Structure formats: structure tokens, C-alpha cells
Structure 1
Amino acid sequence: MSTTDQQHGQVQPVQPVQQGREQQKPQDPQPPVEEPRKGRQPRPGARILRSALRRNLGAMSRGTALMSSYQAGETAFPIALGLIVEHTMRDRSLGALGLAILALAAVTTIVSLSWRFGMRILQKANTTEAHYWRVQVASRGLQPVAATGAASGGSASGGSASVLKSGEILTIATEDADQTADIVEVVPVLISSLVAVAVAAVALGLADYRLGLLVVFGTAAILTVLSVMSKRIGSRTREQQARVARAGAKVADLITGLRPLHGFGGNHAAFRSYRRVSSEATGQAVAVARANGAYAGTAQGLNAVLAAAVTLTAGWLAFDGSITIGQLVMAVGLAQFIIEPLKLFSEMPKYVMIARASADRMALVLTDEPQASIPAQRPSLGGDLEIDGVHHESLRGLDIHVAAGEFVAIVAYQPRAAADLAALLARNAAPGTYQGTVRVGGHDIAGLPVDAVRTHILVNPDHGEIFAGTLRTNIDPSGTSRIVPEAVEASLLTDVVALHREGLDYPVRDRGANLSGGQRQRLSLARALAADAEILVLQSPTTAVDAVTEQLIARNLADLRRGRTTIVITASPALLDAADRVLVLDDGAITSEGPHRKLLATDPEYRRAVAR
């Protein structure tokens, strides 16, 4: 909530808190969405919030107790001042005055320590909970999901996240995770503020019941008005978060495609497109700011009216003789003090609605069942691959059989067919979206878990991503490969390694910005080779290297992958010549096959397509 650093009533942003020992570190449990109950189904966002509250119940209880002690101590100040005035005027004793001063010092100590330790516990719980949800969203966004999920027709890259772009998931994993975790802090602050109002109402009621009733009914009226306004803020906040996420996704897309955009001069049009999306997000943010301003102004105004009503009523009662001068001092002090806890108390519904809106957005990623949780037998798969009568997008009755250990090259006359074939083998096409069968080792991949298929068949696309880190972490992200040196040599990345003193530990910038196009492509190829998959599918792996380098890579690739099934979708003569056989993919089907040199001699169309 970016609140709660509110000593003396000031609301400050929550500062980062070092993870310590006061709250146990959250484990990495299964996603905390509860089993649905019979009858009316609660919104997933509400279940996420309940999960956060249950997990932090201990820390919240301690924090609530300390913050309530802080608020009660703050409320005790004007009460103590009233009693001091009362006894001093009556007894006129220095001893009584000294005791009163000591009492005020004790109250001050309690207030200070309660605030210090209460906020430490709550902020720690908040930051730890935010970390928990960031990990959950990131983990689920990277997991394949069940084919029966809501997004089964799309990419299997993650839950309903498959209908979200990476920039949107990034926003959910950061801003929405933080705002959802704020509920851990909101509830204790809400309770402690209520304690302060209750103590003030009791103290005023003991002086005169009319003052107590005025505080109780005034607080109820204020909260009734503000609860209506907070719902409006919640709906507008949800829309704002969605628009901001779309703007973030647009930025991510633009950064990814910046080079080709500059290449064909589309960067200005892309910028105008982003500006339009960003303007929509800005407009919605302004609308939310207006609603928040109206809410804050209304809350402040109503609180001031209540404080003024208490002060005037106390003055009238003192003038009438119904209360003493000491009670008047107490009432005036409480009327001034009560504005701050009332302000916090009245702001909490708004933060609850914001947390609810963020939790609803996180549920877009967290509610689909992960593929890994579906029980499925994982047979020992072989290296042979069969594609039998597949119709998918541009593929029309495609039939391919690759024997285990064979090195096959595929020439696709239409780039769209090459992309569709790669998507099919990568299991980016859900089983229900194509006709025909794809078998690995005699097993239909439609009946296998996505992660099992992708572990066995590695499809390295022509646009392989390069990540910030080092050459080593890009080649072997998991740190488990046993053939990193061989992969580096086969991909001819040796010159890049030798060029830098750090070797494989040479730093790589985001998206490989400090590498050339050919170096990025060879780094991607080295990563694919280091994985040592049973079946490796490479899509145009040498388009950014020169002919000599390409010839050497083709020879190295054939040597390193000997005994392993390798499929290369390419038009490179060097790779085609290194392959055991070449398949020609034209108009969505295989039209011819044979050794590269034989096809060159007998097929004029093939010769025109691949000859350089």
C-alpha cells in the first residue's frame, strides 16, 4: 500500500526491508489457489488474498498487537493531558505533576517501541510476501499448462498467461505482486486505527455519553460514504493496471524488434503506436488520480467535520457545566488527534480494493493448472520421429519419417511452412489445433506432457534469445551440460571466447547487445548443441555467418551429432550437403527427397532455391 510509515500520522512509502529472522522465509509451495467449493464460486483474486493473510497470520497478529499498542498510546496523550490538568488544578501538587510527567514519559516509550517493532514486522512480512508472489507469477508464467486449460488453444508457455504478452506478465509480477502483498500491512493498520478510534470514543463517552455516540455514529457515516467511493476506485484501478500492462508489453515488443524496425524504417510508426497505447494508459491514470483525489478530499473533509463537531460539542458541554475543564482539554485534544487514525482508517478500504484488483490480475496467470501437475506416464522415448498426415496452418497432409540417429535437412520453399513445422515440433501447437499424428519413438506426442516432449525434442528457432549474463550462462543456463567445450568448438564460437580475457565468463549484455549478429547466432547454436537433446531441430542456424564459417559449422555439426537425431530446416548448401538426406517441403507437403547433390543435378527448382 506504500503506506504505514505513518509515525505522527504521516504516510510514507514502505522502504525495502532486509529479509531477516522475524518471519520465516516462505517456501516454494504449490500455487495457493484453493479448491473450488460447491455453490457460488469466489473470485480467484479473493482466494489469493485469503491465502496471503493465512500465510502471514503470525506476523500480522504480532504487528497488529504492537501497532494497536502504538495507537492506544497515541490516544492516551490527550487523555493524560486532561487528567494532568484536572489533578493539577484540584491538588496543586508538584508530586502529582512529577508523576504525571513520568506517566507521559512511559506512554512515549511505549509509543516509540511499539511503532518501531510493529512496523519492522509488518514491512518485513509485506516485502517477503511480495517476493513470494513474484516468484509464483514468474514460475507459472514459465511453466507449460494443461491442454484443458483456458488457454489450451494458444501457446503453451503459461496458463492464462498464454493470452498475455511478456510485458503484461512483467507488470503483474512486479507492481501487482507488490500491491497484492500490501494486504498484509493494510489489515493490521486498519485494526490498529479502529483501536485508536474505539479508545477515543470510550474516553469521550466516559466524560459524556453524547461525545462517545458522536464519535461512533460519525465514524460509521464516514466509512459508509467512503466504502461506496472505494469500489469505484477499485474498478478504475483494474482498468488502469490493464492499460499500463499493455503499454509495458508494447515497449517489450518494440525493444525486441528494434533492429528490424530500423531496417525497414518502421520505427516511427511503431513509436506512434506505442504513444497511442501509452496515452490511453495515461488517461486512465488521470481518471484514477481524480477518483483518488476525490476520495482523499472527501475523507479529509468528513474527518475534519467530525473533529470540529466533537470540539464544539465539548465546548458547549463545558459551558453548560456537564463536563469539567480537564475533560474539555481531553476532548479537544482527542478531537485533534482522532483525525489521523480516522484518516488511516478511512483510507484502508481504498487500499483493499487496489490489492483486490491486483490479485484479480495475478489470477490470470495463477489459476490454470500446470502441465506438470497432470499425471502422465513418461515412457523412454527413442530418437525416431514420424509426422503422419498432419494438416496445420500452411501444412497440408505432411508426412515425414526420420530414423533414430539420422541427420536430415528440410528445404522449405515457403518460409511460413518452415515456421509452422517448427511450431508443430516444439509443441507450440496444441493437439486439438491440428489433424494428423506426430510420434516420437512410436508415442503420440499429443498424449505426452509438454515438458516431457520439449525435454526430448529441442527446437532451436531462428531468432534464439540471448540473455544478459555471460557466454557460459547463455550456453549452459542450468549448469549441467557436460559438452560445453565441444558445443563451443562445433559452433565456432571459439574465436569469441579467445578474443576476451574472461573466456566463457565474458559478460553478455541484454539481448546480446555487445555481440555481432553472427556471434549471437553462433551463441544460440552452441546453447542448442550443449543441451545434447535426443532430437535436435535447428531452424536456419547459419544465416548470419559467412560461407567459410558455415562450411566448418556444417562439418562440426554432423560430427558432434553423430548417433543423435538432427533435423535442420535450412537452404544452406553447406548444411544440405552435410545431411544424410534432404526433404523438399513445398506447398505444405514433401514433394521430393534425396541426397543434396543428386537433387541439385535432377531438380531445377531445387537448384534455383539453394544454389548460391
Structure 2
Amino acid sequence: MTTPDTQRPRTGSEILWTTLRRNVGAMTSGTVLMGMYQAGETAFPIALGLIVEHTMRDRSLDSLGLAIVALAVIITTVSFSWRFGMRILQKANTTEAHRWRVRVAACGLQPVARDVDLKSGEVLTIATEDADQTADIIEVVPLLVSSLVAVLIATIALGMASIRLGLLVILGTAAILTILSVMSKRIGTSTREQQARVARAGAKVADLITGLRPLHGFGGNHAAFRSYREVSTEAKHQAITVARVNGAYAGTALAINATLATAVTLTAGWLAFQGQITIGQLVMAVGLAQFIMEPLKLFSEMPKYVMIARASAERMALVLAAPPAQTPGPERPATGGDIELDCVDYGTLHKLKFHVPAGEFVAIAAYQPRTAADLVSILAANVPPDAYEGVVRISGQRATDLSIEALREHMLVNPYDGEIFAGTLRTNIDPSGTSRMIPEAVAASMLTDVVALHRAGLDHAVRDRGANLSGGQRQRLSLARALAADTDVLVLHDPTTAVDAVTEQLIARNIAELRRGRTTIVITSSPALLDAADRVLVLDDGAITTEDTHRNLLSTNETYRQAVAR
């Protein structure tokens, strides 16, 4: 049964309510301790007023000692309640931010429906900054409540001295909240726009890093950098706008808080001058007028932080509520397994039909690159079932009936542009640390020269996206990772386009030998891989037009010979 915490939240409000519900214990403890802190802070000027009042009546050492003890108790309460209250709240805040980061990252790694336009750079921003800002609501609520406690205590204390002072604080606080709540809405709108523009800038950076080498190759790097500068400038201007709004908000809050404190001080002085309050009550009122600025400042800033948290939560909902490309089924595929596509119609694929028996090594020669990409998307389960017609069967079972996790374990589809991660050669080949095929995979992918080139061998450091590797080395590293996974079914898309002909010939033979007895599909135009396969399926205009061995097709099919001969 799916629990509320494991369901996909659909809105930012649901994310915030989930955050609050999960941390109600920590927030309750934090609220109590922060309330004690604010109560202690409020009690300090009240105690000073009482001390002045009683000292003027009873000038004894006992009264002085009692006053010192009372102040020490208040100071100790203030110190320890703040220390432990903030420790509890910040721990809960950090833990909750981690939960949302992990959850956003997990959703970002899963294929989602194509109508959700989120790039990797945007997901990264959402999983870091927005997750942190959403979790801040855990601290915002207790601070809001504790500030309210302080204002109430101050209001009651001043009201007991003079009804006029109590009403002044109540009316002033209401006016402050009314003014600032209107301004906080502008902050929320500006913040959402800033977060969106920063995310777009992050996505542009990710795209530039990915395509930096090709851009340098044809001289397009300057145009790309200008494009990024435009996006970054937009983000900068929006950040300045947000800073101005925040500055106006903070300045307005400080001014009206100071105005209220001044009004309370002057009113108390006037009342004392007229003899309506005592000197002790005047000292208390002046102290509270100074102190009340801190809780009022916190109280007035809370709407801003609530709006920021809500804006971040709504951006997280874009990822968390994104519909999956495929609804996982309950079943697992049988061991070994064959692959069958039956009248699949999607994109450039038209009634595509073919069958690969278990254990066969089949190459698919796709004349159109777009058709190959569409086929890879179908096999990788990156396309929602309702987005294509026909049936895909794995080991005789419909792919839609299989658990997506089980499908991934059974069949690996390795794209031609497989990502290389920061780490080492070893962690890129075996990310899980469980493969027993690393030596064989390294040898088969002809990665041995890269390993031997460095003193650290497989533990040689690899930069993000393989920046310190050549294109051919990155491609062979990606191939080694696919082979090391040792899945029952392996689908490779153009695994050797960046290597020389001799190396390609050796890799083709090695793949055929290493994968003997297990189902392997290679979508390629490489003569070496086509020749190593048991048979070749020719994919033209979205359908299989013919099949045979590579050498037979070379001798009998002129179109095929022109398409693949080098």
C-alpha cells in the first residue's frame, strides 16, 4: 500500500504540508524551546522594571540578591533554550532538505513524459537550492510562533501597566503584518522568476559543457558563449530585482518596527510624566519597546520566507509530479530472454516487426539516424505505452507488464552518448561495485591501453563528463561499463563511432566472443560490427526491409553496400 509520504506530491502546498507533518515532533520541541527563549527575552525588561520598582521601596541586600538570582535564571533560560532549540530545528531542516534532494534526484533519473520540459541543469538547481529553501519552513513556523509569544507577553505586560500601551502594540503589529503581507507576495513572484532563470542558466551551462569539444571543432563556441551570457544576464537582472524587492521589504519592516518602538517609548514617557505609570513601569516599557523590535523583525520577515519556501516547493513539484514515461508493472522477465517488436508504430517507426531469439547476436543497420534513435527510445522504455502502437515483448512478456527496475536489470540499453561521471575509471565501469566482469569488459572494449597509460590504473581519476579523456576513450569507457553489467540482454547504439578502424575490428570480435550465448543487439553502420553479428536486419524508412548476413547483403544488395561500405 502506498503511504502519503511515498506518493508523488502534485503541488507545492502538498510538499510543504508533507514537510511539516514529517517534522511535527522536532517542530513542537523547537517551538517550545524557542518560545522559552522569547519569553525569557521578554521577561528581562519586565524583571528590570520590577526590580527598580521594589528597590525603590525596599533597599535591602536580600532584595538585591533576589534580583540577581532572577536575572541569572532568565539569562540561563535564554541561553540554553536558544542553543538547544536551534540545534533541534536546524537538524530537522538539514535532514528534511536531504530527503527532498534525494527524492528529486531519484525522480530526475527516471524517464518522464515528454511534455515535461526540464533539463538536467534545472533539475540540479531544484534538487539543491529549492530543496534547501523548502525545508526552511521547518524553522520558519517555530520562529513565527515564538515571535508571536514574545509579542503577546509584551502586549499583556504593557497592557497591565496601561491599556493605551497594550492597544498601541496590538494595532501597530496588525498594521505591520498587513503592510508586509502585501509586499511578501511581490517577493514570492520575483523569487519564482529568479529561480526559473537561474535554472535555465544552469541548464545552458550543462549543455555547453557537453558540447564543448564539437563547438570548438567548428568554431561555434563564441556564439554559444554569447547565448549563455544572454541567459546569465537575464538571471542577473532578475536577481537584482529580487534584491531590490527584498531591500525595500527589509527597509520598510525596520522603519515601521522602529516607529512602533518609538511610539511605545514616547507614550510610556508621557504617561510617566503625567503620573499614570510608575518609574518601574516606565523602565519596563522602554525596555520592552527596544526588545520588541527583534520579535517584530522576525515576525515581519516570516511571510517573506514562507513565500520563498512556497515558490521553491512549487518548482520541486514540477519534477516530483511529472508523470513517469511508463507505469511499472508487477512482473519480472524470464532468464535468458528474447526480444520481439510486433507492429510498433512510433515517430519514424512504421509497423516495425522483428524477433531476436535468446542468445543471438543481431546487428540492425538503420539507414536514418532518427529511426535508430526512436528504436532505442522504445527499447529503453523511455516512451510512455500510450505514445506508441504495437507491442514490445521481452522473454515473451509485454514490456508494460514488467517492473521497470526488473526490466533495467534484465536488459541494458547503452546510448551512443553515455554519460561519464567524475570519479575513477573503476567507478565508471562498475558504479555499483558488484561486477565480476571488469577485467573482461576492459579487455573487450580495448580500454587496456588507457588503464596501462596511468600509474593508478583503474583507479585513475576521471573528471566530470570525462573532460580529461578523448572522445574515443570516453566511448570505450561507456562500452566497458555496458559489458561489465553482464545483463541477459544488451542493446548497444553506435558503440564505436569514435575509434579507429583497427580498434573497431578488435572490439567487434571481442563483443561477439564475450556475449556468446546471451542476447545482444547492436544498432550500427559499422562494417566490423555488422560482420561480427549472426545476422543483420536492415531498418529503412521505419521498417525492416531485409535480413541476412553482412557478407551476403554486401554481395546482393547495392543499397546496403553503399550505406555501410567504407
TM bracket, shorter-chain basis: over 0.9
**Cα distance in 1 between the residues matched to 2:448 and 2:215:** 31
Q: Return 304-313 or 89-98, whichever deviates more.
A: 89-98
Q: Return 133-142 or 178-187, whichever deviates more.
A: 133-142
**Cα distance in 2 between the residues matched to 1:185 and 1:260:** 47
1:369-424 deviation line (CA, Å, top 9, x unaligned): 66898553334265322223333222233332222211111222222222222222
Match in the other structure for 2:188: 234
Q: State the secondary structure of the residue aligned to 2:132.
A: helix
Contact 2:366–2:539 (CA under 8 A) maintained in structure 1: yes
| CA gap 1:34/1:533 in 2 versus in 1, 3 angstroms | closer
Paired residue type of 1:391: D
Q: 1:459 aligns with which of 398, 413, 426?
A: 413
Paired residue type of 1:204: L
Q: How does 1:36-51 map to 2 (within 5 A)?
A: 44-51=11-18
Match in the other structure for 2:266: 312
Q: 2:501 aligns with which of 547, 550, 555?
A: 547
1:75 counterpart = 2:70? no
State the shift of 1:135 in Å.
1.2
**Cα distance in 1 between the residues matched to 2:324 and 2:62:** 72
Match in the other structure for 1:535: 489
Q: State the secondary structure of the residue aligned to 2:354.
A: strand
Contact 1:402–1:408 (CA under 8 A) maintained in structure 2: yes
Over 4 Å off, 4+ runs? 33-36, 368-375
Q: State the secondary structure of the residue aligned to 1:429.
A: coil
| CA gap 1:422/1:372 in 2 versus in 1, 3 angstroms | closer
Q: 1:592 aligns with which of 532, 538, 546?
A: 546
Across the aligned residues of Structure 1 and Structure 2, the Cα RMSD in angstroms comes to 2.2
1:97 counterpart = 2:33? no
**Cα distance in 2 between the residues matched to 1:92 and 1:483:** 89
**Cα distance in 2 between the residues matched to 1:367 and 1:76:** 48
1:486-538 deviation line (CA, Å, top 9, x unaligned): 11111122222233333322222111122222221111111111112222111
**Cα distance in 1 between the residues matched to 2:110 and 2:390:** 26
1:138 counterpart = 2:105? yes
Unaligned runs of 5+ in 2: none
Q: 1:273 aligns with which of 209, 213, 227?
A: 227
1:221-279 deviation line (CA, Å, top 9, x unaligned): 21122112212222222222122212211111111111112122222222222222222
Match in the other structure for 1:351: 305
Q: 1:122 aligns with which of 81, 89, 100?
A: 89
1:558-582 deviation line (CA, Å, top 9, x unaligned): 1111111111122222212111122
Match in the other structure for 1:9: none
Contact 1:33–1:48 (CA under 8 A) maintained in structure 2: no
Contact 1:230–1:350 (CA under 8 A) maintained in structure 2: yes
**Cα distance in 2 between the residues matched to 1:80 and 1:459:** 73
State the shift of 1:587 in Å.
2.5
**Cα distance in 2 between the residues matched to 1:201 and 1:570:** 78
Match in the other structure for 2:145: 191
Match in the other structure for 2:179: 225
Paired residue type of 2:121: G
1:270-329 deviation line (CA, Å, top 9, x unaligned): 222222222222232222222222221221111111111111111111111101112111
Paired residue type of 2:134: T
Match in the other structure for 1:53: 20
**Cα distance in 2 between the residues matched to 1:457 and 1:103:** 73
Q: State the secondary structure of the residue aligned to 2:65.
A: helix
Q: State the secondary structure of the residue aligned to 1:163.
A: coil
Equivalences, count: 565
Paired residue type of 1:292: N
Q: 1:437 aligns with which of 388, 391, 415?
A: 391
State the shift of 1:98 in Å.
3.4
Contact 2:328–2:401 (CA under 8 A) maintained in structure 1: no
Q: State the secondary structure of the residue aligned to 2:544.
A: strand
Match in the other structure for 2:377: 423
| CA gap 1:361/1:66 in 2 versus in 1, 3 angstroms | same
State the shift of 1:175 in Å.
0.7
Q: Return 223-232 or 458-467, whichever deviates more.
A: 223-232
Q: State the secondary structure of the residue aligned to 2:469.
A: coil
1:335-376 deviation line (CA, Å, top 9, x unaligned): 111111111111111111111111111112223566898553
Task: Return the TM-score normalized by structure 1.
Answer: 0.87
1:329 counterpart = 2:309? no
Paired residue type of 1:519: Q
Q: State the secondary structure of the residue aligned to 2:342.
A: strand
Match in the other structure for 2:5: 32
Match in the other structure for 1:512: 466
Q: Return 104-113 or 433-442, whichever deviates more.
A: 433-442
| CA gap 1:379/1:520 in 2 versus in 1, 3 angstroms | closer
Q: State the secondary structure of the residue aligned to 1:396.
A: strand
Match in the other structure for 2:120: 166
Contact 2:344–2:389 (CA under 8 A) maintained in structure 1: yes
Task: Return the TM-score normalized by structure 2.
Answer: 0.94
1:571-612 deviation line (CA, Å, top 9, x unaligned): 222212111122222232233322222222222332233222
Q: State the secondary structure of the residue aligned to 2:340.
A: strand
Paired residue type of 2:240: V
Paired residue type of 1:140: C
**Cα distance in 2 between the residues matched to 1:407 and 1:434:** 26
**Cα distance in 2 between the residues matched to 1:428 and 1:374:** 12
State the shift of 1:100 in Å.
1.9
**Cα distance in 2 between the residues matched to 1:544 and 1:241:** 38
**Cα distance in 1 between the residues matched to 2:301 and 2:437:** 59
Match in the other structure for 1:18: none
Match in the other structure for 1:20: none
State the shift of 1:58 in Å.
1.6
**Cα distance in 1 between the residues matched to 2:22 and 2:46:** 37
Match in the other structure for 1:64: 31
Q: State the secondary structure of the residue aligned to 1:378.
A: coil
**Cα distance in 2 between the residues matched to 1:409 and 1:91:** 102
User: Percent of aligned positions with the same letter in both sequences?
Assistant: 75
**Cα distance in 1 between the residues matched to 2:544 and 2:277:** 99
Contact 1:33–1:47 (CA under 8 A) maintained in structure 2: no
1:17-55 deviation line (CA, Å, top 9, x unaligned): xxxxxxxxxxxx96727699xxxxxx7222221221122
**Cα distance in 2 between the residues matched to 1:95 and 1:251:** 71
**Cα distance in 2 between the residues matched to 1:33 and 1:601:** 58
**Cα distance in 1 between the residues matched to 2:33 and 2:119:** 43
**Cα distance in 2 between the residues matched to 1:307 and 1:124:** 34
1:107 counterpart = 2:80? no
Contact 1:31–1:366 (CA under 8 A) maintained in structure 2: no
State the shift of 1:114 in Å.
1.5
State the shift of 1:186 in Å.
0.6
Contact 1:500–1:506 (CA under 8 A) maintained in structure 2: yes
| CA gap 1:587/1:35 in 2 versus in 1, 3 angstroms | closer
Q: Return 452-461 or 506-515, whichever deviates more.
A: 452-461
| CA gap 1:95/1:63 in 2 versus in 1, 3 angstroms | same
1:523 counterpart = 2:477? yes
Match in the other structure for 1:7: none
Contact 1:32–1:48 (CA under 8 A) maintained in structure 2: no
Q: 1:494 aligns with which of 439, 448, 452?
A: 448
Q: State the secondary structure of the residue aligned to 1:459.
A: strand
Q: How does 1:246-265 map to 2 (within 5 A)?
A: 246-265=200-219
